[in-house]
Amino acid sequence: MKRSKQRGVAAVELALIIGPMLIAVFGITELGRALYQYNALVKATRGAARYLAQQDLANLSTSDLTAVYNKTIELTVCGDTPCTGKEPLASGLSTAQVRLCDYLTCPITHMGVLTEKDGGSVDLVSVTIGGAGAQPYWFRSMVPAWVADLSFSPIKTTMTARYN
């Protein structure tokens, strides 16, 4: 007789719990996706800064320098060059969100940071997504009812570049 009073209790408990559990699962999934996109952007700035640091910018003509800057921006956005026809590494990422800084474009902060004994200097190069003068990168949530869109703070990688 007791058994008949308990019939259907599990279904009622499931009905009460399933809503909050689904919200938690979708929220965790979306935050994981945001973290994945942030990590992809950090890796993109790192690879582009490495490429820019390996270039001998002082000995390039103006057209070659422009080509190096364009290739660096394409590496940041698409992870490869040329970027034409390719998907960006993160949805919504564009070249307008990328800023480059080296001793030619930002001489006050990036020139002659260290001078070595043999006469060469170590300067800085940096690649930034977002930041001053650029649009921030927005993570667009697939379920905005549960997780709002997020604006990432500027993602910046700075490396040393040695020029002789």
- For the chain, 164 residues long, give each residue's pLDDT as a single digit of tens: 456 677 788 888 888 999 899 888 888 999 999 999 999 999 999 999 999 999 888 788 899 999 999 999 999 999 888 888 889 999 889 999 999 988 888 877 766 655 566 666 678 899 999 877 778 899 998 888 878 898 999 999 999 886 65
Q: What domain range includes position 54?
A: 2-163
Burial of 93 (0-12, 13-18, 19+ CB in 10 A): buried
Number of compact structural domains in the chain: 1
**What pTM, to 2 d.p., does this model score?**
0.81
Instruction: Find, among 120, 105, 107, the residue nearest to 161 by Cα.
Output: 120
